[in-house]
Amino acid sequence: MKTILVVDDELGSAEVLSLILEEEGYRAFCAVNGQLALIQAREVVPDLVIVDYMMPLMNGAEFSRELRRDPQFSHTKIILNSGLPEVAIRDHFDNYDAFLRKPFKVETLLELVERFVGR
Amino acid sequence: MTSSTTDVGPIERLRSSVPGLDQILGGGLFRTGVYIIQGLPGCGKTILANQICYGHVAEGGSAVYVTLLAESHSRMIQHLSTLSFFDVKAFPDRLAYISAFHELESAGLKGLMTVLRREMRTRKVGVLVLDGLVAASEGASDLDLKKFIHELQSIAVLQDCTVLLLTSGNIHRMAAEHTMVDGLIEVEDTLFDARSERSIHVRKFRGAGPLRGKHSLRIDNDGITVFPRIESLYRGAMQETAGTAAATTGIASLDRLLAIGGVPEASSTVVIGSTGTGKTTMGLQFLHASSADEPGLHLSFFEGPERLRTKARSLGRDLAPLEANGAVELMWQSPGEALLDEIADRLLSAVARRQVRRLVIDGLSGFLESAVYQERITRFFSCLVNELRSRHVTVLMTLETRDVLSSVVSMPWGVSGLVDNLFFLRFVHDEGEVERLLTIIKMRDTDYQAGLRRLRIDSQGMHIAGTYRADGDVIPSAQPVASSEGPAPSPSN
């Protein structure tokens, strides 16, 4: 079973997504900022992280950079998402596998998830 | 031993980039102040706070918008991206939207404070918005909330940050946090019959005297614009009519009836009459007497510029050359749901821009109908007329009466007392003919020839065509009767 970590500071966003992912047969965890997500990631070593960009304490770019630096996550795919357009983010961080502009449809996300980690 | 001393001057202001807001705050929010912006959902407080953030970012600063239980960030960005001040380049270095609800839920106000303090320090923000004070205050005691705000004030001073707390809490309830903050700004959207009008009211503002009372507020693609109530904006001393220099009415034969050869400069004249009596014509001739030295402005609520140009041409007065050399400007104002103070602002800005000396307001009822508070009208006009007088503008206004062939005319409440000069135009039946008559009812401080004058309008324009001698069965009353029983125009006898 593939492991996915959903990181979002907004109430409900991460929880709702992780529930849907569980229904789809994935093992899902969630965190509300980059700092907590890093601790969680080291415990569960996810195959995929779905991470929001703007968050308190540690944002999605800072979290993803930390992830990319750590060899134990060399196989981990990153889907970055934000209410901002991709162009506003790429100058600050572009080492992600996919970008999703919020709000997105769950089918769009699930297609991406399947493409990256299978079912 | 080392010591550091700095001169302590007045607290700097934060320029808000919300047109009119700094004006009602007497210069803007104080930097390092903690302010509550309060209003029911949908009143515009989110746009107001965002506009302040983006304005600060545009000036080179940085800001952070912290939500608790508010609309989602992606939805907020979608909504804001339609507004002209939205700047995607501000993200993420100079502007960020973050949620601190998790910290509030898991560690209470202490956890929330940790996030706010950290955001202020690491991002070095000049503006911090906390959207959802109601969520923060739930479950907290009054003392906890007061301590929270006190701590926020201390951090705001240390970090040189202005803090805006947004809440949909009950406006009329005396809340503990109200006593602590540096200012309390209310935003309202009030329904007047089928029409609604937004307003802003600075209830508390430490350190300065804001313009008191409610001020109109508009939200459009440029975000929020505040229109200070002109009674509070122009509350200076009464301006006396300047000198006895004359300004021509644009009608030579009418000037000859006036002792100084025209109306006094910087005076205000109302031309009252029913439809078709020649009020707009008189206004156009007054306008046509404008020049580069005496620029003219025509504000019309009903007839558009093209119709006015055609009408002026039919009177032998071509406005085109005057418009081309900047001596005349035609300004049309939709009589739709314009805000009273917005129209006044537009008018006074146009007067200032071209240093206008001759102004025609064609259709005073356009102003009257824009007022949601009819009881304001007298004070509003008094301030407007006074301000125009102080700017040395000679004003001619037209006002339509309801009755076409009545001998008794009612004046809208208070208008006669506000203006210097009053001309009355009317129709009379005379041996099967309908004639136009002019009566000069009042000229303040200058002499004039009273009596009934025949008025003719032809291809040469409007002119006086002798004295009218009634036989007694046509005009029982030659005087308009002031309606003094309330704001609504109503016939009286």
pLDDT in tens, chain A (119 residues): 999 999 999 867 888 899 999 999 999 999 999 999 999 999 999 999 999 999 988 999 999 999 999 999 999 999 999 999 898 888 889 999 999 999 888 889 999 999 999 97
Asked if A59 reaches chain B (Cβ–Cβ under 8 Å), the answer is yes
Residue B127 forms part of a structural domain: yes
In a domain, B345, yes or no: yes
Phi and psi, residue B191, nearest 5°: -95, 130
C-beta of residue B45 within 8 angstroms of C-beta of residue B39 = yes
- Residues B261, B160 share a domain: no
pLDDT of residue B435: 85
Residue B105 lies in a domain: yes
Same domain, B191 and B280: no
Domain assignment of residue B190, given as a range: 13-228
Task: Tell whether B344 and B408 lie within a shared domain.
Answer: yes
> B8 in a domain, yes or no?
no
How far is residue B331 from each of residues B229, B319, B354, B446, measured CA to CA in Å? 22, 13, 13, 31
Q: B326 — alpha (psi -120 to 50), left (phi > 0) or beta?
A: left
Helix (H, G, I), strand (E, B) or coil at B472: coil
Structure tokens at B258: 């006036």
Report the C-alpha gap between A92 and A87 in whole angstroms: 10
Same domain for B192 and B267, yes or no, is no
For residues B208 and B267, membership in a common domain is answered with no
> Same domain, yes or no, for B414 and B477?
yes
Quote the number of domains for chain A: 1
| CATH at residue B379 | 3.40.50.300
A76 touching chain B per CB within 8 A:
no
B99 closest CB neighbour out of A11, A84, A88? A11
ipTM: 0.78
Domain holding A97: CATH number? 3.40.50.2300
Q: How many whole angstroms separate alpha carbon B73 and alpha carbon B78? A: 8
pLDDT at B487: 38
Interface check for B78 against chain A (CB to CB < 8 A): the answer is yes
pTM over 0.90: no
Q: How far apart are CA B213 and CA B309, in angstroms?
A: 41
pLDDT in the model for residue B235: 73
What residues in B contact A13, CB-CB < 8 Å? Answer: 72
- Across the interface, do A84 and B77 touch by the CB < 8 Å criterion? yes
Per the structure, the count of domains in chain B is 2
Q: Is there a domain that residue B420 lies in?
A: yes
CB contacts < 8 A, A to B, total 70
CA distances from A69 to A44, A76, A94, B288, B347 (A): 17, 12, 14, 77, 63
Write down the H helix ranges in B407-464. Answer: 415-418
Q: Is A102 on the interface with B (CB under 8 A)?
A: yes
Q: Do B254 and B348 fall within a single domain?
A: yes
Q: Is residue B318 part of a domain?
A: yes
Whole-number pLDDT of residue A91: 84
Q: Are residues B193 and B96 in the same domain?
A: yes
| Residue B330 burial (CB count, 10 A) | 22
Does the beta-carbon distance from A54 to B97 stay under 8 Å? yes
Q: Would you state the pLDDT for residue B142?
A: 85
> Which residue in B392, B399, B386, B389 sits closest to B282, CA to CA?
B399
Q: Which of A13, A33, A83 sits opposite B78 (nearest CB)?
A: A83
Q: Do B67 and A85 touch (CB under 8 A)?
A: no
Q: Indicate whether B7 belongs to any domain.
A: no
Residue B85 lies in a domain: yes
Tens digits of pLDDT across chain B (493 residues) = 555 555 667 889 999 999 999 999 999 999 999 999 999 888 899 999 999 999 999 999 999 999 998 778 888 999 999 999 999 989 888 999 999 998 998 899 999 999 999 999 888 999 999 998 888 888 788 888 888 999 999 899 988 999 999 998 765 555 777 888 999 999 998 887 777 889 999 999 998 889 989 999 999 999 999 999 988 888 766 666 556 799 999 999 999 999 999 999 999 999 999 888 999 999 999 999 999 999 999 999 989 999 999 999 999 999 999 999 999 999 999 877 678 899 999 999 999 999 999 999 998 887 777 777 777 888 888 889 999 999 999 999 999 886 655 555 556 656 677 789 999 998 887 777 788 999 998 898 888 888 889 999 999 999 999 888 765 444 444 444 444 433 343 333 3
The per-residue pLDDT for B370 is: 74
Q: In chain B, what residues touch A10 (CB-CB under 8 Å)?
A: 67, 72-73, 99, 101
